[in-house]
A and B are shown apart, each in its own frame.
Chain A
Amino acid sequence: MQLSGNKETSEILPASLVDLRRGDEAVLSEIDLPVEDARRLMELGFLPGARVVAGQSAPGGDPRVFQVDGSEVAVRRETARRLKIHRKGRLSRPA
């Protein structure tokens, strides 16, 4: 019980770019990646505090294009999962 409870909270609490659907917008809070990889992402505009909008994706939903800091960058799901966002506001728009 306790274990599953823990698992649930850890899955729900830190939202990431993966949770965004097309058109959703969020503010980046943290990059949970090795320094070198994080630096690449930051150079492309994925800085903590940056506004990110989810865009089109490749067929199958992976990778997805994100609009960030004036450009559009495609990121794989496995990477998007490491880009944490603030959970303020709605995550998905009403359809």
Chain B
Amino acid sequence: MSECRDCAGCGPAAVLPFPSGAATKAVAVIGPPNSGKTTLFNRLTGLRQKVANFPGVTVEQHTGIAELADGQIVELIDLPGVYSLSPHSEDEQVAYDVLTGRRDDTPKPEAILLVLDSTNLSRHLMLAAPILSLGLPTLIILNLADDLRNRGGTLDTEALAKELGAPVALVSARQGEGIEQVRDFLAGAMALPLPRSLPVLHDVPKCREWAGLVGSQANYRAPIAPKWTRRLDRVVLHPVAGPLLFALVVIAVFQSIFSYVTPLMDGVKWLFEVSGNWIAISLPPSLIRSLLVDGVWKGVGSVIVFLPQVLLLFLFIGILEDSGYLARAALIADRTMARFGLQGKSFIPLLSAYACAVPAIMSTRTIENKRDRTATILIAPFMTCAARFPVYTLIIAAFLPNRQLLGFLSVRTVAMIGLYALGFVMAVLTARVLKSSILKSGRTPFLLEMPAYRWPTVQSLGLRLLDRSKVFLRRAGTVILLVTVLLWMAAHVPYTHGHPPAIRDSLAGTLGRTIEPVIKPLGFDWKIGIGLITSFAARETIIATLGAIYGMDHPDSKSMDLQSALRQDLTPGAAVALLIFFAFAMQCVSTVAVVRRETGGWKWPLAQFAYMSALAYGGAFLAVHLWRFV
């Protein structure tokens, strides 16, 4: 009676109970942040999903296929974590639109899995009111049953089901406990919820009162406070130990992805060398062989070498996120972020941007404030992403010795941390300027729920890594492969007297020499120029490009590796300039595309691209000229 709009979806519901066997059923998964909704989704589909303890990380809608025991297939739609269905934020809007069939891109769900945290039932039950009022078949899943039990909480699921007029399942998605009940619901004829008197949906106090009442009817006894979380927080949020731990975590992550992963990378490199030689031997000398070995194999191989490193970085981010530490890190970072006009919630996207700006920019949707969000999007590409990393590694390794400083840090690690800091400082300065001018905003309250600490599960970490390697390899297999092949062709025309031209006289060489006057002031020659041109597709492509160019330039000498070639062509000052250019420039088509999508136009991505390019050029120019005084 109170919300006609919420009932708009129940009209055609009468057709539902027996869906035709041929069509797949679409079922929505919804729940508040931290209800373990994504873990359940992973458990049911086995497909990739971001699992986090951080409120609202699941912003994108993810769909997955759950195969049931009888071979039936159900399509699951994982909706963003929301506290209510009143469409006030973007997340709630998306959830509301999907559930009521207002989105063209998503089928209207035939049923709903409502996931609630059983250890905080009274508050989480508030979401049951708007969901049940939609009139779709609904299974109420009380997750984290193991936590509830361990901490001495109890409830009567049958009484709760009776109270709500819908089936209730007590499960632990992490342990797999009770999952059969969910599968049974998906497989069976799904009954519509029985009519119950629900509270006025937009009145939060009334909803809470209703939820509390329902909980007490079901004899809900709330569990005692999580002892370990409290104990850990006393250390993690300690005024002295907390920031120290924060710094330690950051250093540990960087040190391990720069030092300890080297043997793995050498292994991958070796594999590519051996297989490249094998291809070279087994094929007759021809253009095709040259394309395969010098173009494709060398080019793509020089990028894939970095896969172990990228994965290790994602493993760390995953562990921090799933364990619950990331929310504490956001809390510790909030005050600093506030100084630059941002907030703790910007910390998560910015930290993800260390892996890749694209998912980071997508995850800014958790920031309710539009202006804070735009500012975060605009500065995210300054964070040192995984694609910059191989470029930095290559240049640093070519120009700096692997000497130890202070006994445990290598000079290279220090240089790398410096570059990371450089990107961060520029991001922060940019944010400051933006937030005190065009993106100035009123203060919206910063609210951050602290989830209980949990052990990350191997499954969720594994799925995340699998997904990341797919993304990385897809890039290597598409954008980078395409650029490598185009480059190889540009390096082999014009073909004269049955011989390819010297690389200098080829189309690629001509292009490089055309832009040479522009980049000469930065200390770069035409070869680096070709690399820079290709790197605007994706940063790490420059390695493939330079690998191919130097390979063609000195076809006979195998010993002429990339590092020594670079040392010949770049002065130390120019090497620093190149590093700075890469630290600041927005060389990534995917990022430009995602910024356009997320900001709804070309205005921001173009301004961002121009700004970052100017900064890159200016920074590199300054660096190469100042270096002379060093």
Q: Chain A: residues with CB nearer than 8 A to chain B?
A: 33, 36-37, 39-45, 47-48, 55-60, 62-63, 65, 67, 69-76, 78-79
Query: Are B123 and A45 neighbours in the complex by a CB distance under 8 Å?
Result: yes
Query: Which residues does chain B contribute within 8 Å of A36, judged by CB atoms?
Result: 88
Which of B120, B443, B450: most chain A CB closer than 10 A? Answer: B450
CB distance from A54 to the nearest CB of B (A): 13
User: In angstroms, how far is the closest chain B Cβ from the Cβ of A61?
Assistant: 9
Contact: B119 with A70, CB < 8 Å?
yes
From B86, B120, B334, contact of A58 by CB (8 A): B334
**Interface-centre pick from A33, A62, A70, A73 (highest chain B CB count, 10 A):** A70
Q: Does B260 interact with chain A (Cβ within 8 Å)?
A: no
A33 to B447, CA, bound (A): 14
The 0/1 profile, CB within 8 Å of A marked 1, for residues 229-273 of chain B is 000011001011011000000000000000000000000000000
B445 within 8 A of A: yes
B residues in contact (CB < 8 Å) with A = 83-84, 86, 88, 119-120, 122-123, 126, 204-205, 208, 222, 225, 233-234, 237, 239-240, 242-243, 331-332, 334-335, 338, 344, 368, 443-450
Chain A CB within 10 Å — which of B126, B233, B332, B335 has the most?
Answer: B335
A47/B334 in contact, CB under 8 A: no
Cβ contact within 8 Å between A48 and B205? yes
Asked if A47 and B208 make an inter-chain contact with CB atoms under 8 angstroms apart, the answer reads yes
B445 touches A75 (CB 8 A): yes
Contact B449 A71 (CB under 8 A): yes
Nearest residue, chain B, Cβ from A75: B447
Report chain A residues within 8 Å CB of B334: 58, 62-63, 74, 76
For residue B204, which residues in chain A have a CB less than 8 angstroms away from its CB? 39, 42-43, 47
Given the contacts A47-B205, A58-B237, A70-B122, A40 and B335 also touching, CB distance less than 8 Å: no
Taking a contact as CB atoms closer than 8 A, the residue among A60, A70, A74 that contacts B450 in the complex is A74
- Check A43–B83 contact: CB distance below 8 A: yes
Whole-angstrom distance between the Cβ of B427 and the nearest chain A Cβ: 21
User: Given contacts A42-B205, A43-B126, A67-B225, are A59 and B446 in contact (CB under 8 A)?
Assistant: no
With A62-B335, A69-B123, A75-B445 already in contact, 5 other A-B pairs whose C-beta atoms are closer than 8 Å:
A37-B445, A58-B332, A59-B335, A73-B448, A74-B446
Between A and B, 7 residue pairs with Cβ closer than 8 Å are A42-B205, A56-B234, A59-B332, A62-B334, A65-B450, A70-B122, A71-B123
- Number of CB contacts from chain A to chain B under 8 A: 101
**C-alpha spacing A58/B145, complex, angstroms:** 31
CA distance A73 to B449 in the complex (A): 4
Interface of A is mostly: mixed
Q: Once the chains are docked, how many angstroms separate the CA of A6 from the CA of B368? A: 37
A85 to B267, CA, bound (A): 63
Q: Which of B84, B239, B240, B368 contacts A43 (CB 8 A)?
A: B84
Chain A residues whose CB sits within 8 angstroms of the CB of B208 once the complex forms: 42, 45, 47, 69
B446 touches A76 (CB 8 A): yes
Chain A residues closer than 8 Å to B120, beta-carbon distance: 69-71
A76 adjacent to B123 (CB under 8 Å)? no
B123 touches A70 (CB 8 A): yes
A81 CB, nearest partner CB in chain B, Å: 11
A78–B334 CA distance with the chains assembled, in angstroms: 13
Partner of B447, one of A40, A59, A60: A40
In the complex, which residues of chain A have a beta carbon less than 8 angstroms from the beta carbon of B368?
Answer: 40
Across the interface, do B450 and A72 meet the contact criterion of CB distance under 8 Å?
A: yes
What A residues does B444 contact at CB under 8 A? Answer: 37
**Alpha-carbon separation in the docked complex, A40 to B345 (Å):** 15
Partner of A69, one of B122, B233, B237: B122
Q: How far is the CA of A60 from the CA of B444 in the complex (A)?
A: 21
Distance A56 CA – B222 CA, assembled complex (angstroms): 22
Q: CA separation between A47 and B206, bound complex, in Å?
A: 10
**Whole-angstrom CA separation of A28 from B99 in the bound complex:** 34
Q: Is the CB of A63 within 8 A of B446?
A: yes
B205 touches A44 (CB 8 A): no
Distance from A37 Cβ to chain B, minimum over Cβ atoms (Å): 5
Question: What CA separation (Å) do A64 and B387 show in the bound complex?
Answer: 37
Given A36-B88, A43-B204, residue A73 in contact with residue B331 (CB < 8 A) = no
Within the assembled complex, what's the spacing in Å between the Cα atoms of A72 and B332?
15
Assess whether A33 is in contact with B122, with CB atoms less than 8 Å apart: no
Minimum distance in angstroms from B73 CB to a CB of chain A: 35
User: Chain B contacts of A41 at CB under 8 A?
Assistant: 445, 447
Q: Return chain A residues, CB-CB under 8 Å to B332.
A: 58-59
Within 8 Å CB of A69, what residues of B?
A: 120, 122-123, 208
Interface pair A79/B445, CB less than 8 Å apart: yes
- Chain A residues closer than 8 Å to B448, beta-carbon distance: 63, 73-74
**In angstroms, how far is the closest chain B Cβ from the Cβ of A44?**
6
Bound form: Cα–Cα A60–B338 in Å: 13
* Given A43-B126, A48-B205, A63-B344, residue A79 in contact with residue B237 (CB < 8 A): no
Would A70 and B222 be within 8 Å (CB), given that A47-B208, A59-B239, A60-B335 are in contact? yes
What chain A residues lie within 8 Å of B331 (beta carbons)?
A: 58, 63, 65, 74
Output the nearest chain B residue to A37 by Cβ-Cβ distance.
B445
Chain A residue with Cβ nearest B119: A70
What residues on A are CB-neighbors of B88 within 8 Å? 36, 39
- Bound: A48/B203 CA distance, A: 13
In the complex, which residues of chain A have a beta carbon less than 8 angstroms from the beta carbon of B243? 59
CB contacts (< 8 Å) of B450 on chain A: these are 65, 71-74
Closest to B84 in A: A43
Residue of A nearest to B334 (CB): A63
Known: A42-B204, A43-B84. A79 touches B449 (CB 8 A): no
Hey, which chain A residues are within 8 Å of B445, CB to CB?
A: 33, 37, 40-41, 75-76, 78-79
Contact A56 to B233, CB < 8 A, known contacts A47-B208, A63-B334, A67-B225: yes
CA distance A39 to B83 in the complex (A): 10
Looking at A44, A73, A75, the one whose CB has the most chain B CB atoms below 10 A away is A44
Cβ A44 vs Cβ B449 within 8 A:
yes
Cα A40 to Cα B243 in complex, Å, equals 29
List 8 A-B pairs, minimum CB-CB distance, nearest first.
A42-B204, A43-B83, A79-B445, A70-B120, A72-B450, A56-B237, A74-B448, A59-B239
Return B375 CB to nearest CB of chain A, in Å.
Answer: 18
Chain A contacts for B86, CB-based, 8 A: 39
- Residues on the B chain within 8 Å of A56, using CB: 233-234, 237
Tell which of A59, A73, A76 has the most Cβ of chain B within 10 Å: A59
